[in-house]
Amino acid sequence: MKSFRIAIKGQPAKDIEAENLSGLEALQYLDVKGLDKVVAVRVNGGSQDLLAPVGTESELEPVFIESDDGLKILRHSTSHVLAMAVKALFPGVQVTIGPSIENGFYYDFDYERPFRDNDLPKIEENMKEIIKANLPFKREEMTSREAIDLFKSQGESYKVEIIDDLGEESVSVYTQGSFTDLCRGPHLPSTGRIKAFKLTHVAGAYWRGDEKKAMLSRIYGVAFADKKALKGHLNRLEEARKRDHVKLGKQLGIFSTYEEIGAGMIVWHPKGGMLRHLLEEFEIKEHLKRGYELVKGPLILKTELWEKSGHFENYRENMYFTEIDKQSYGIKPMNCLSHMLIYKSGIKSYRDLPKRYFELGLVHRHERSGVLRGLLRVREFTQDDAHIICTPEQLDGEIKGVLAFVKDVMEIFQFSYELEVSTKPEKSIGSDEDWNQATDALIKAMDDNDLEYQVNEGDGAFYGPKIDVKLRDALDRKWQCATIQCDFTLPERFDLSYIDKDGQKHRPVMIHRVILGALERFIGVLIEHYAGAFPVWISPVQAMILTVTDRNIPYGKKVLETLRGSDIRVEADFRNEKLGLKVREAQMQKIPYMLIIGDRESEKEGVTPRLRSGKNLPFMTEREFIDLINEDCRQRR
């Protein structure tokens, strides 16, 4: 018999005598409630399978299926069931990796043909049979040599490659029924604990994200703790399909892409051009009132400059290059180099700092064709880019100022958001001391403001750590837009300096930051966030004049002229069509106000507005309607 001293985290320990003690048995002894919803256990801070043994001195914490960690375990276990079903249905298929992701999971397969969406129903049926069988997930430790021999015998060359790359003496595998997979775990106790899942779609994916390697079939699915949560998510997915910005962008006349122009290049139609203009105008005003100065740099810069900055060494695979007069040039992927040269154009005193340079800068970055989609991932885009060059003493206040700027703007667009700190990547420039100082500055600014954040290890820019702002839209989806990067390295490389109070030269610090990020991406997010029904202040068309009969056209033209003269963005539909048709078409265009012009309006010289929701407003004068629009814009409704 062994003596075990066990405790629930934060509670007094209890002693027990037993031959062995699993996590489940320990939780039962400690009288944990709701054990039917516990799927794993944390033991002394580390997660393990519920049925795995615990040590003689153990602090325990149950992992409930509804928790974030519990859902990750559920989803990863479901991916193993997916792989088992695919292997049973498609002889000769090879399995690769199958992680959990937000709301679900995927698994990548190598098969003689790509999988198709119409393969999913029969795969789902097989998965349901596996779940019904309630097969236990069994963990086994084996040497890497043993694991390699096992997977070679199964023809699983991708698993062999993964084990070789790990370089570990031993690995763990999980088996349910006839299927064995390389995995660290933990997993559900058995397949029967999977209550609600759905396969959603199939996509292509390169092995290890390398376009020079095999193209695989990726099957995506979602899984939740219960059917109610799954149904809610599927409803949101259906709503997301209705809000798809590519579909709405075409319907609303905002943008197009053309094969003859090239992948990842956007053509803006008149309404899209107006929407961009309104956002750019908003951005300029917001920056100017916060002390930023407008600047503009060239689209191409000599390659030597990109070599000096470190972009050529660390970022050139994302850049385009050209040659002019036998001189190599890089098409800019970022705007920072020109801004540093502007700073260096004259001697700066500490009294001149901070300098806040703002540019709506057009940039180009090479993205793989497989990841391009609508406005969300493009090769040419405009950033609301700014670089703040300040003294080390000013750094804290400037970071906090940017965080406040982000907060103000996100509230205007009705976005909630989360913060994430990304630290030093493997591929980087600058000293560890500079990286530590920069990272500490970002974290301090958030801590001082009591802001919650996550740490994303190793995902910083090559020249400095960053705060990434993840927006949550109306469907609770996350989008990466704003970012704040702290940089001690490029000011050193470009020999930036200022004269301090002591009369000596000192090195400034630079903050790279965007608020909306890429305008293209942000507009794509806005389209889906608002389902194309933009607030009045950024609606490309704020009102549509609809005449009832041809005899109302003369007054309709007068209203059109009056509204345009008052800077209202208005269009007119004077066609000899039924009013109901005109109204439906205007509603399909998501126009905020429809102005019905009939005989009464013509005689009394007023308008009867109708909202895109279908609600009718009372008759009002032209001036009253102009004031209504202006108030909407002032309130940013």
pLDDT at 482 over 90: yes
Does residue 151 share a domain with residue 115?
yes
Contact 453, 420 (CB under 8 A): yes
Is 573 assigned a catalytic role? no
What are the backbone dihedrals phi and psi of residue 19, each rounded to the nearest 5 degrees, phi first?
-70, -50
**pLDDT for res 617:** 96
> Mean of the pLDDT values across residues 186-193?
97
The average confidence (pLDDT) of the chain is 95
* Owning domain of residue 450: 268-297+332-529
The pLDDT of residue 211: 79
Q: Is position 154 annotated as part of the catalytic site?
A: no
Task: Of 532, 618, 547, 546, give the one whose Cα is nearest residue 586.
Answer: 546
Q: Which candidate in 512, 529, 569, 582 is catalytic?
A: 512
Looking at residue 278, what is its pLDDT? 98
Domain boundary among 471, 497, 529: 529
Classify burial at 224, counting beta carbons within 10 Å of its beta carbon; exposed 0-12, middle 13-18, buried 19 or more: buried
Same domain, 224 and 280: no
Q: Mean of the pLDDT values across residues 552-559?
A: 96
Which one from 108, 385, 468, 473 is the annotated catalytic residue?
385
- Where does the pLDDT of residue 368 fall: very low under 50, low under 70, confident under 90, or very high at 90 and above? confident
Residues 290 and 372 in one domain: yes
CATH number for the domain that contains residue 619: 3.40.50.800
Place of tokens 């002229």: 561
- DSSP letters, 95-142, are E----EETTEEEEEEE-SS---GGGHHHHHHHHHHHHHTT-B-EEEEE
Question: Is residue 167 over pLDDT 80?
Answer: yes
Using CA atoms, how far apart are residues 467 and 579, in angstroms rounded to an integer? 52
H-helix segments, 351-476? 395-412, 432-448
* Structural domain ending residue among the three candidates 64, 95, 114: 64
Cβ–Cβ < 8 Å for 182, 159:
yes
320 lies in some domain: no
Instruction: Among 529, 553, 574, give the residue marking a domain's end.
Output: 529
The answer to whether residue 321 is domain-embedded is: no
At residue 370, does pLDDT exceed 80? no
Set 176, 218, 287, 336: catalytic member:
336
d(CA 530, CA 550): 35
In a domain, 550, yes or no: yes
State which H helix or E strand residue 384 sits in: strand 380-390
- Whether 313 is in a domain gets the answer no
Residues 294-308: tens digit of each pLDDT: 999 999 999 999 999
* 383 within some domain: yes
Tokens for 479, please give them.
């989008």
Q: 514 and 425, same structural domain?
A: yes
Query: Which of the residues 332, 356, 365, 529 is marked catalytic?
Result: 365
**Which CATH number covers residue 33?**
3.10.20.30
**407 and 522 co-located in one domain:** yes
Q: Domains in the chain: how many in total? A: 4
Claim to verify: residue 22 and residue 78 sit in the same structural domain = no
Please report the pLDDT score of residue 511 as a whole number. Answer: 96
Q: Does residue 387 carry a catalytic annotation?
A: yes
C-beta separation of 174 from 141 below 8 A: no
- pLDDT of 6 over the 90 cut: no
pLDDT tens digits along 129-144 = 999 999 999 999 999 9
Q: What CATH number is attached to the domain comprising 363?
A: 3.30.930.10
| Catalytic-residue membership of 383 | yes
User: How far apart are alpha carbons 318 and 333 in whole angstroms?
Assistant: 8
Residue of 48, 176, 383, 589 with catalytic role: 383
Question: Above 90 in pLDDT, residue 585?
Answer: yes
CATH code, domain with 218: 3.30.980.10
* Residue of 531, 587, 598, 593 whose CA lies nearest to 568: 593
Q: Is residue 319 part of a domain?
A: no
385 is catalytic: yes
Are 511 and 561 found together in one domain?
no
Rounded distance between C-alpha atoms, residue 332 and residue 9, angstroms: 53
Residues 290 and 193 reside in one and the same domain: no
- 65: helix, strand or coil: coil
Q: Within this chain, do residues 283 and 185 fall inside the same structural domain, yes or no?
A: no
Express as a percent the part of the chain with pLDDT over 90.
Answer: 88
Question: Does a structural domain hold residue 382?
Answer: yes
Whether 378 and 275 map to the same domain: the answer is: yes
In a domain, 315, yes or no: no
Based on the residue annotation, tell me whether 2 is a catalytic residue of this protein.
no
pLDDT digits (tens, 9 = 90+) for 258-297: 999 999 999 999 999 999 999 999 999 999 999 999 999 9
With a cut of 90, say whether residue 530 has pLDDT above it.
yes
Q: What is the pTM of this model?
A: 0.84
The Cβ-side half-sphere exposure at 187, using a 13 Å CA radius, reads 30
Per-residue pLDDT, 212: 85
Check if the beta carbon of residue 220 is closer than 8 Å to that of residue 109: no
Catalytic residue among 72, 187, 387, 610: 387
pLDDT of residue 372: 87
81 and 137 assigned to the same domain = yes
Rounded to whole angstroms, the Cα distance separating 404 from 388 reads 15
What mean pLDDT is predicted for residues 540-564?
97
N- to C-terminal Cα separation, the chain? 71
Q: pLDDT tens digits, residue range 390-404? A: 999 999 999 999 999
The reported pLDDT for the residue numbered 321 is: 96
Summarised one tens digit per residue, pLDDT across range 437-452 is 999 999 999 999 999 9
User: What is d(CA 391, CA 409) in angstroms, rounded to the nearest whole number?
Assistant: 26
Cα gap 520→376, rounded to integer Å: 7
**Of 339, 356, 466, 521, which is the active-site residue?**
466
- Are residues 600 and 491 located together in one domain of the fold? no
